[in-house]
């Protein structure tokens, strides 16, 4: 008998770290992890198998299909918004072609196994594109269908892949004669900027939040690349993981849409500065605006309406801003950077 496993792409990334550790604590979940780089040592004991490889390698994905019964795919691998702007076509390849490969794997596995493979996909506030600061202020919390007019390659990629997921779940093969009863069960969460106590993001535009905090904890100078009044939603990693696990385990009949906002707190960059300076009074933080990156975050909403997630799968964050810092970020970060004696 083939082993039933959960496949996680982008295993070494920030969400991968949190998710793998959380899944490993669940009895009976076997994890196959995939990443371009060697797996972080702390994750090795949590995984049943690690494959160093590329999501663009269809031979590799074919081999996975032959070896495992994959019940759920968490497709986390992607190139974030700032990095994608430096090389948009490469980002498109990884973010779109890579996702298409995984969707196809999910579809083929669903047919082969005779049951729908769950496809859990993290999307982003980058799919939104508000035209100016006045509109951003006026709109406040925005719903999933509003302002889906992204201004970055990453945002375009995520929005398109959300639609691909919906296509493969609802419409694929409807016209074809070889219609199979089973396709994927695509479920997507649009994340705000994420802050982890364990890892620092690379190549994102919400990175100023986590970078400011980790920089202060390490005693390094940090030049924040957005204006102090910049406001976008953020969430700490434990809540992000909670939302992924909740949407994955929600009964199919309670899922009324394929894409959901989740939200937690919406600080300005100055609010983050203040709370970091409270914890590290000597923190050396300056504001040195990067016009391109500022333009990107100015196009993202101030906050997201996550009432659909609350209604459909009882989503509620555990951490507001104060609790995030007091009970999760600061204690864990102090421990992470404590001097070795
Ligand atoms: N954190 C992502 C980025 O900055 C947005 O979801 O690209």
Residue pLDDT tens, the chain, 341 long: 678 999 999 999 999 999 999 999 998 899 999 999 999 999 999 999 999 999 999 999 999 999 999 999 999 999 999 999 999 999 999 999 999 999 999 999 999 888 999 999 999 999 999 999 999 999 999 999 999 999 999 999 999 999 999 999 998 876 665 566 788 999 999 999 999 999 999 999 999 999 999 999 999 999 999 999 999 999 999 999 999 999 999 999 999 999 999 999 999 999 999 999 999 999 999 999 999 999 999 999 999 999 999 999 999 999 999 999 999 999 999 888 876 66
**Best residue for ligand 1 mutational test, from 204, 208, 232, 234 (most atoms within 8 Å of Cβ):** 204
| Long-range own/partner contacts, residues 54-60 (CB < 8 A, 24 or more apart) | 55/9, 55/94, 55/98, 55/101, 55/102, 56/93, 56/94, 56/97, 56/98, 56/101, 58/101
Tokens for 147, please give them. 């302002």
Ligand 1, atom 1, residue with closest C-alpha:
193
Q: How many Å separate Cα 242 from the centre of its chain?
A: 12
Q: Is 193 in the pocket of ligand 1 (CB under 6 A)?
A: yes
Question: Nearest CA to 259 among 122, 128, 153?
Answer: 122
* Contact by Cβ (8 Å): 146, 302: no
Q: What is the pLDDT of residue 179?
A: 60
Catalytic: which of 128, 154, 222, 273?
A: 154
For ligand 1, is residue 258 a contact (CB within 6 Å)? no
Q: 85, 124, 199, 203: which to mutate for ligand 1, most atoms within 8 A of CB?
A: 124
Coil, helix or strand at residue 49: strand
CA 200 – ligand 1 centroid, Å? 12
In sequence order, the 6+-apart residues with CB closer than 8 A to the CB of 20 are: 8, 11, 31, 33, 43, 46, 47
Max Cα-Cα span within the chain: 69
Nearest CA to ligand 1 atom 6: 124
Contact 218, 287 (CB under 8 A): no
Does the annotation mark 154 as catalytic?
yes
Taking the C-alpha atoms of residue 239 and residue 173, their distance in angstroms, rounded to an integer, is: 36
Residue 160 structure tokens: 């398109």
What architecture (CATH level 2) is domain 78-197+235-265+302-319?
3-Layer(aba) Sandwich (3.40)
Q: In this structure, is the dihedral angle defined by the CA atoms of residues 176, 178, 182 and 187, taken in order, positive or negative? A: negative
pLDDT at position 298 is 98
Cβ(125)–Cβ(190) under 8 Å? yes
Nearest CA to ligand 1 atom 2: 204
Domain boundaries, given as residue ranges, for the chain: 78-197+235-265+302-319
Per the CB < 8 A criterion, the answer to whether 238 and 18 are in contact is yes
Q: What is the pLDDT of residue 259?
A: 98
pLDDT at 173: 72
- Contact of 167 with 99, CB cutoff 8 Å: no
The secondary structure of 220-260 as a DSSP string is: --EEESS-TT-B--EEEHHHHHHHHHHHHHS-GGG---SEE
As given in the structure block, the two tokens for residue 120 are 């859990």
Q: Which residues of 298-326 are buried (b: 16+ CB within 10 A; e: fewer)?
A: bbbbbbbbbebbeebbebebebebeebbe
Residue 266: both structure tokens together: 């919406």
Q: What is the pLDDT of residue 76?
A: 98
Residue 177 confidence (pLDDT): 58
Predicted local distance difference test score (pLDDT) of residue 92? 98
Ligand 1 centroid–CA 297 distance in Å is 9
**C-beta of 169 in contact with ligand 1 (< 6 A):** no
Q: What confidence score (pLDDT) does residue 338 get?
A: 76
- Residue 337 has what pLDDT? 87
First to last CA, the chain: 50
Residue 209: the pLDDT is 97
CA atoms of 305 and 308, how far apart (whole Å):
8
The conformation of residue 94, written as its DSSP 8-state character, comes to I
């Amino acid at each position: 008998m083939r082993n039933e496993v959960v496949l996680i792409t982008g295993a070494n990334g920030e969400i991968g770290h949190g998710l793998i550790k959380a899944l490993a604590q669940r009895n009976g979940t076997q994890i196959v992890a995939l990443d371009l780089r060697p797996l972080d040592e702390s994750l090795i004991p949590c995984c049943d198998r690690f494959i160093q490889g590329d999501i663009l390698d269809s031979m590799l994905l074919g081999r996975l299909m032959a070896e495992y019964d994959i019940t759920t795919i968490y497709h986390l691998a992607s190139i974030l918004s700032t990095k994608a702007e430096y090389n948009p076509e490469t980002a498109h390849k990884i973010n779109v072609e890579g996702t298409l490969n995984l969707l196809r794997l999910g579809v083929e596995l669903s047919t082969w196994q005779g049951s729908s493979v769950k496809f859990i996909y993290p999307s982003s506030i980058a799919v939104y594109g508000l035209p100016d600061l006045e509109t951003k202020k006026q709109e406040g919390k925005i719903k999933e269908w509003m302002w889906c007019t992204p201004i970055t390659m990453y945002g375009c990629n995520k929005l398109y892949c959300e639609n691909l997921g919906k296509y493969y779940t609802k419409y694929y093969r409807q016209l074809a004669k070889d219609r199979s009863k089973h396709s994927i069960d695509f479920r997507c969460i649009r994340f705000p900027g994420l802050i982890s106590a364990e890892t620092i993001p690379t190549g994102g535009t919400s990175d100023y939040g986590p970078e400011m905090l980790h920089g202060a904890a390490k005693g390094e100078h940090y030049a924040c690349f957005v204006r102090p009044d910049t406001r976008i939603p953020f969430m700490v990693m434990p809540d992000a993981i909670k939302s992924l696990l909740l949407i994955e385990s929600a009964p199919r009949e309670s899922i009324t849409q394929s894409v959901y906002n989740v939200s937690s707190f919406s600080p300005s960059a100055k609010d983050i500065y203040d709370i970091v300076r409270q914890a590290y009074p000597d923190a050396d933080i300056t504001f040195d605006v990067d016009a391109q990156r500022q333009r990107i975050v100015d196009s993202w909403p101030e906050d997201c309406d996550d009432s659909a997630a609350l209604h459909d799968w009882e989503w509620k964050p555990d951490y507001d801003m104060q609790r995030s810092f007091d009970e999760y970020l600061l204690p864990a970060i102090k421990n992470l950077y404590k001097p070795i004696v």
